[in-house]
């Protein structure tokens, strides 16, 4: 702990790093203020109560997850209600999926920084399109669906004017969030998108503590939570966090050897190194995709009364939900890893050009197949790890009747994002410290980010 504090003091003493930290904190403060700016014409207090009831009926559900990503802005329909998710979705679609499937975009990705800027510009356009669609659908939801189900007036002045104003306000808010994220990435510390999500999640910790306090309070009745059990939960949370850090930092190191070359009287090459393969190369994407698909039947059931029975089948504490959740996580883990398979061919070609090889493996196609086989085995470990992390909150919900907001911090998407963002940010700070001959956060070894 002392070493960590000393590293933070050293970081603050470096003028350039201090400016980056202050700029990042300032941008995060602007984002947190925007979460509380209401959208005109909406009864945010009544909407928050309805969202709380909806989330409680589905065991926390997708609404609770999305609301946590927006820091509570979604449940109160503020100007930042869309959160950072449209920006992330557009970036994944354009720069990962389409850039792999469309040759023209793949060519741009290979052109270096200029091609990346062009791809990123396309991602911005896609973000605005998604924001317009999402805000319009949200306006219709507030205007028609929610009042019909709960007999409550959320929109004060419904009509075309309200829809256009909501689209304009929330799309502008989304553009503001996108600008804040990019400014943090360029002029601050850490990745802007990730930091905004992490800040939204961390901002919900006081509410989770309040829910836990209400359950333990004098009016809680026959609550299964006792002070001793709270101590158990704290210890369990610490163990899970340490396990997540261990796996997220884990690598499968493949030995690589450079061939010796004799040029005149000098011998070049012959060094031994390694090619690091991340254990969890897919990150948090499999969990996001899986939970989105699983809650699609619940969303349909909300609009079709004849399908109300799906709600109990796909609640977070049901066996059907958790089995489907595990299968989808396995699928999306392998799928997202397969999207990066082109990197093996590039790595094999590059190794062949510089005279490097894996001992016992022939250069070329054999190297590609060897790397693919190794990554397939590593991916199975990552998939099993993600399944365990994803199901832990649901087990706590069903077994200990822990509130959904509290259980969310024991695993799933929220824990992976917070831990991963913390590691990446600490890595960047440590790099600045080491460049200026300061010691890092730890006495031995160095932090490795998620990438």
The total of other beta-carbon atoms located within 10 Å of residue 124's CB is: 17
70 conformational bin, left if phi > 0, alpha if psi -120 to 50, beta if neither: alpha
Which residue, 115, 89, 87, is CA-closest to 102? 115
DSSP 256: E
d(CA 82, CA 74): 7
What is the model's pLDDT at position 307?
61
**Taking 50 as the threshold, does the pLDDT of residue 322 lie above it?**
yes
Task: Give the separation between CA 420 and CA 416, rounded to whole angstroms.
Answer: 6
Positive or negative, the CA dihedral 186, 190, 193, 196 is negative
pLDDT of residue 2: 63
CA-based radius of gyration for the chain: 24
pLDDT band for position 169 (cuts 50, 70, 90) = very high
Q: Do 227 and 216 form a contact (C-beta atoms < 8 A)? A: yes
Decide: 431 and 195 in contact? Cβ < 8 Å. Answer: no
Q: Is 1 helix (H, G, I), strand (E, B) or coil?
A: coil
Alpha-carbon distances, residue 153 vs 38, 57, 63, 75, 261 (angstroms)? 16, 21, 20, 15, 79
Calpha distance 114→124 (Å, rounded) = 16
Rounded to an integer, what distance in angstroms lies between the CA atom of residue 47 and that of residue 86?
Answer: 22
Q: How many residues in the chain?
A: 451
Q: pLDDT grade, residue 413 (50/70/90)? A: confident
Q: What is the pLDDT of residue 183?
A: 92
Q: What is the DSSP letter of 305?
A: G
Residue 11, helix vs strand vs coil: helix
The per-residue pLDDT for range 219-240, each reduced to its tens digit, is: 555 555 567 777 888 888 888 8
* Gap between the Cα atoms of 378 and 9, Å rounded: 38
> Which position has the higher pLDDT, 306 or 203?
203
Higher pLDDT, 19 or 147: 19
The continuous run of DSSP H or E covering 267 comes out as: strand 266-268
CA distances 146 to 46, 47, 54, 383, Å, are 11, 9, 10, 37
Question: Range with the lowest mean pLDDT among 6-20, 52-66, 249-263?
Answer: 52-66
Across the chain, what does the average pLDDT equal?
78
Distance from first CA to last CA of the chain, Å, rounded? 26
**DSSP-assigned states of every residue in 158-176:** -SHHHHHHHHHHHHHHHHH
Is 145 a residue whose pLDDT tops 90? Answer: no
Give all domains of the chain, ordered by start, each with its CATH number.
Answer: 17-203 (1.10.3370.10), 219-410 (1.10.3370.10)
Task: Yes or no: say if 298 and 310 are a contact pair by the CB < 8 Å rule.
Answer: yes
> Which residue, among 287, 276, 235, has the nearest Cα to 420 in the 3D structure?
287
Lowest mean pLDDT of 202-216, 292-306, 360-374, name the range. Answer: 292-306
Predicted pLDDT at 100: 73
Name beta bridge partners: 277.
252
Three-state DSSP at 276 gives strand
Long-range Cβ contact pairs of 311-316 (< 8 A, separation 24 or more): 311/57, 311/58, 315/58, 315/59, 315/61, 316/58, 316/59, 316/60, 316/61, 316/393, 316/394, 316/397, 316/404
Which of 99-113, 175-189, 303-317 has the least mean pLDDT?
Answer: 303-317
Residue 185: φ, ψ to 5°: -65, -40
* Adjacent-strand bridge partners of 258: 356
Residue 193 is encoded by which pair of tokens?
């998108």
For position 216, what pLDDT does the model report?
A: 66
Residues 6+ apart with CB under 8 A from 201: 68, 69, 71, 414, 417, 418
pLDDT at 59 over 50: no
Cβ–Cβ under 8 Å, residues 164 and 41: no
For the cut 60, the answer to whether the pLDDT of residue 18 exceeds it is yes
Beta strand 266-268 pairing with 272-278: unpaired
């Amino acid at each position: 702990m002392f070493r960590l504090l000393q590293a933070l003091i050293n970081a603050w003493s470096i003028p350039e790093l201090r400016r980056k930290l202050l700029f990042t904190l300032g941008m995060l403060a602007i984002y947190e203020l925007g979460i509380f700016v209401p959208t005109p014409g909406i009864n945010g207090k009544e909407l928050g109560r309805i969202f709380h009831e909806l989330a409680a009926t589905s065991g926390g559900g997708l609404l609770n997850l999305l609301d946590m990503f927006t820091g509570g802005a979604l449940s109160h329909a503020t100007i930042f209600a869309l959160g950072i998710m449209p920006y992330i979705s557009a970036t994944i679609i354009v720069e990962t999926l389409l850039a792999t499937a469309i040759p023209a975009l793949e060519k741009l990705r290979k052109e270096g920084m200029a091609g990346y800027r062009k791809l990123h510009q396309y991602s911005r356009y896609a973000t605005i399109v998604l924001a317009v669609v999402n805000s319009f659908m949200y306006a219709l939801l507030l205007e028609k669906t929610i009042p019909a189900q709960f007999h409550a007036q959320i929109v004060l002045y419904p009509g075309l004017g309200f829809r256009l104003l909501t689209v304009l306000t929330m799309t502008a808010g989304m553009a503001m969030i996108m600008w804040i994220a990019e400014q943090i990435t360029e002029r601050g510390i850490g990745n802007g998108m990730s930091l905004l999500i992490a800040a939204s999640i961390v901002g919900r910790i006081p509410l989770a503590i309040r829910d836990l306090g209400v359950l333990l309070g004098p009016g809680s009745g026959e609550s299964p939570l006792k002070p001793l059990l709270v101590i158990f939960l704290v210890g369990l949370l610490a163990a899970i966090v340490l396990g997540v850090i261990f796996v997220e930092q884990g690598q499968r190191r493949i030995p690589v050897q450079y061939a010796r070359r004799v040029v005149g009287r000098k011998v070049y090459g012959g060094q031994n190194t390694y090619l690091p393969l991340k254990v969890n190369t897919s990150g948090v994407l499999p969990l996001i995709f899986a939970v989105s698909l699983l809650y699609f039947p619940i969303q349909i059931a909300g609009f079709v009364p004849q399908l109300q029975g799906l709600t109990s089948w796909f609640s977070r504490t049901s066996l059907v939900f958790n089995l489907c959740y595990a299968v989808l996580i396995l699928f999306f883990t392998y799928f997202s890893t397969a999207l990066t398979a082109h990197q093996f061919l590039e790595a094999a070609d590059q190794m062949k050009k510089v005279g490097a090889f894996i001992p016992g493996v022939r250069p070329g196609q054999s190297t590609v197949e060897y790397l693919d086989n190794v990554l397939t085995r590593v991916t199975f470990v990552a998939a099993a790890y993600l399944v365990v992390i994803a199901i832990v909150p649901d087990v706590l919900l069903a077994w200990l009747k822990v509130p959904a907001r509290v259980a969310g911090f024991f695993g799933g998407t929220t824990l992976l994002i917070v831990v991963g963002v913390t590691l990446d940010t600490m890595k960047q700070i440590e790099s600045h410290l080491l460049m200026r001959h300061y010691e890092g956060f730890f006495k031995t070894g160095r932090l490795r980010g998620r990438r």
